[in-house]
Amino acid sequence: MSAANDITHADVLVVGAGPAGLAAATAAARHGCDVHVLDDNLAPGGQIWRASSVAANTQSTQPMSSREKAIAALHASGATLHCATRVFAAPANNVVDVLEQDEHGLRYTYRTLIVATGARELMLPFPGWTLPGVLGAGGLQALVRAGYSVAGKRVAVVGTGPLLIAVAAHLQEAGARVVLLAEQAGLRTMLPLAASMLLRFTKLRQGLHYAARLRGTPVRMGWWPVEAIADRGVLAGVRITNGSETRTIDCDLVATGFHLVPNSELAELLGCALAATPVGRRVLVDTYQRTTRADVFCVGEPTGIAGLDAALLQGEIAGLTAAGQPSTHLHARAAAERAFGKMLDRTFRLRKALRTLAAEDTILCRCEDASFAQVKACAGWTEAKLQTRCGMGPCQGRICGPATRVVFGWEPASVRPPLVPVPLHALISSTSHHEENL
Amino acid sequence: MPEAMPEAQCVQIYLNGMPRQVARGTSVAAALLLHAVPCRESVKGTPRAALCGMGICFECRAVINGVAHRRTCQINCLDEMRVETQR
Ligand SMILES: Cc1cc2nc3c(=O)[nH]c(=O)nc-3n(C[C@H](O)[C@H](O)[C@H](O)COP(=O)(O)OP(=O)(O)OC[C@H]3O[C@@H](n4cnc5c(N)ncnc54)[C@H](O)[C@@H]3O)c2cc1C
Ligand code: FES
């Protein structure tokens, strides 16, 4: 890449085209800002609004969904959307470097940056979790939308968090037989959440929709996975426990996830202040979604896991503020949604038993095949990286980092550019620009 | 199932040299799962398949048209694409 040819300037640059990023971009562009939106995915919508990419699966007779409305509003606002583009570095103030199609380096400059990078699932290591057929719960849902068929397959959904219910309902709709939904949180822990949902119409409606889909599905509250079992190398079942008894459930697929981890890495790279959480870090923002960096806002899940409504409100607040418009009319609702997120955190807090699922030979770092025993022998991240290469592979600790935080209580390592592995030709121009600006 | 699909809705790819048809719009990771082909072999030689489905974990990386380390969950199948398990 020749950096000089490939620089685009945006008044407002939004990273992430999930609900939060779409709302932010639309609000800013409507009020006259020149807005560009970048997203790593092939299509806008983020996680909850991930659409099916396979033509045969889409039903055109349905009324316009909230996803379609949000995307139509984005286009009508005049904002420009770029998919398959991933921000990997911030080489100087108001500059980010981007990888397009995993290949070409591009550069963007901006007046205001809105970080809307969403969240990922927390994956915890247990014996057998590296077997093909053990997938992230949201991951399996995404793969089904990308053309994988689960029709007739027996799926066990295990872990924690509201996502499990959404995924189980979706898999059932896609023709799978959900043979188990095991939620590690006990029934009693769930009661305050259930009570608060009764007071919120949209959440109640969504809950009832899922409940109807899951009628007849075996649900176990207060149970968690202890081992994925293989028969001649092929996944055959999952062993679960409630602390006093264990059971084995035969299945073809295990969908597992332990609630969500904020994707806070880009904000951290930009120098925004973060707060530690039990599973990672979240970005600190004020009521206008401003971070501690004057020109950087953060919206949606990186500020703390709070779901769709919070993402939409926070996005709109940041977009309006970036365009110099008032947003105070939205602050009370945004605060209520943030409180809902805190209730989710409390409800789905991980029980201690989940820290000790791994056996000595269980792989902890999937990229480098570092075992639990090898990593356990280290004093912290830095030593583990040096001694075992834990966290040094291509995912750069996105999966094993939060796992070591839960299992050993380690502080997350600080992030360094590039945020993702980048081909040399794209990287060289990024670092050379960095040096010019020092 | 793919055999019953109208031609226009299908693409033909090669998984480890074997011709396979999948629905247009199918991601490479989904195609590998459909045909029970592992994406890669780990450092210690065990088979691995997609995990996060959203571009984060890199478990789904494979060789596409001769280029290694491609995240197959973020790439859709195109006609004549050659996909190989990464070793
Ligand atoms: C796998 C998964 C599935 C989910 N499914 C559901 C569901 O079915 N129902 C439900 O209620 N909630 C679901 N959630 C919860 C969900 O996170 C929120 O409800 C909502 O999607 C949050 O919106 P957001 O805009 O903050 O983030 P997201 O929707 O996560 O969007 C963030 C976007 O940022 C992009 N991005 C991240 N980093 C970069 C970068 N460096 N460069 C460029 N782009 C980047 C990502 O590709 C993504 O599109 C799911 C979460 C996950 C992780
Ligand atoms: S499955 Fe995780 S990056 Fe593709």
Please name which of A214, A8, A261 lies closest in space to residue A111, comparing C-alpha atoms.
A8
Whether B43 and A368 lie within 8 Å, measured CB to CB: yes
- Scored b (16 or more CB within 10 A) or e, A403-415 reads bbbbbbebebbeb
Q: Which atom of ligand 1 is nearest to the CA of A19?
A: 25
Q: Are B28 and B67 in contact (CB under 8 A)?
A: no
Q: Which atom of ligand 2 is nearest to the CA of B51?
A: 1
Q: Which chain A residues are closer than 8 Å to B50 by Cβ?
A: 135, 139, 143
**Atom 2, ligand 1: residue with shortest CA distance:** A138
Please list the residues that pair with A89 across neighbouring strands. A97
What is the side-by-side order of every strand in the sheet holding B67-71?
B18-23, B10-15, B82-84, B61-64, B67-71
Asked whether residue B22 is assigned to any structural domain, the reply reads yes
Asked whether residue B74 is assigned to any structural domain, the reply reads yes
The CATH number linked to B39 is: 3.10.20.440
Tell me which residue has tokens 């769930």.
A190
Q: E-strand spans in A293-402? A: 296-298, 363-365, 370-371
CA distances to A189, A203, A208, A304 from A194, in Å: 10, 10, 11, 21
The string of pLDDT tens digits covering residues A248-273 is 999 999 999 999 999 999 999 999 99
Query: What's at A274, amino acid-wise?
Result: L
Asked whether residue B24 is assigned to any structural domain, the reply reads yes
What ipTM does this complex have? 0.95
How many whole angstroms separate alpha carbon A48 and alpha carbon A39?
15
Choosing from A14, A22, A48 the residue with most ligand 1 atoms within 8 A of its CB, the one to mutate for a pocket test is: A48
Asked whether residue B1 is assigned to any structural domain, the reply reads no
How many whole angstroms separate alpha carbon A135 and alpha carbon A157?
10
The A-side interface with B (CB below 8 A) comprises 40-42, 47, 52-56, 84, 86, 102, 120-121, 123, 130, 132-136, 138-144, 146-149, 233, 263, 363, 366-369, 393-395, 398-399, 421
Tell me which residue has tokens 């592979």.
A393
Angle at B82 between CA B81 and CA B83, to 5 degrees: 115
Q: A280: which 2 tokens?
A: 């990672």
Ranges of chain A with pLDDT below 50:
1-4, 60, 434-438
Q: What percent of chain B has pLDDT over 70?
A: 92
Contact status of B41 with chain A (Cβ, < 8 Å): no
Give the pLDDT of residue A147. Answer: 97
Q: Which long-range contacts (CB under 8 A, 24 or more apart) does A195-202 make?
A: A196/A340, A196/A343, A200/A340, A202/A309
Q: Give the count of beta carbons closer than 10 Å to the beta carbon of residue A102.
A: 22
Give the pLDDT of residue A341. Answer: 94
The string of pLDDT tens digits covering residues A57-102 is 555 455 678 999 999 999 999 999 999 999 999 999 999 999 998 8
Asked whether residue B20 is assigned to any structural domain, the reply reads yes
Asked whether residue B2 is assigned to any structural domain, the reply reads no
Domain count, chain B: 1
Minimum-distance CB partner of B54 among A139, A148, A369:
A139
Ligand nearest to the CA of A66: 1
Give the pLDDT of residue B5. Answer: 67
Mean pLDDT (chain A, rounded): 93
Give the pLDDT of residue A206. Answer: 83
User: A50: which DSSP letter?
Assistant: P
Asked whether residue B56 is assigned to any structural domain, the reply reads yes
- Which residue range forms the structural domain that includes residue B59? 7-84
Q: What is the pTM of this model?
A: 0.95
Asked whether residue B27 is assigned to any structural domain, the reply reads yes
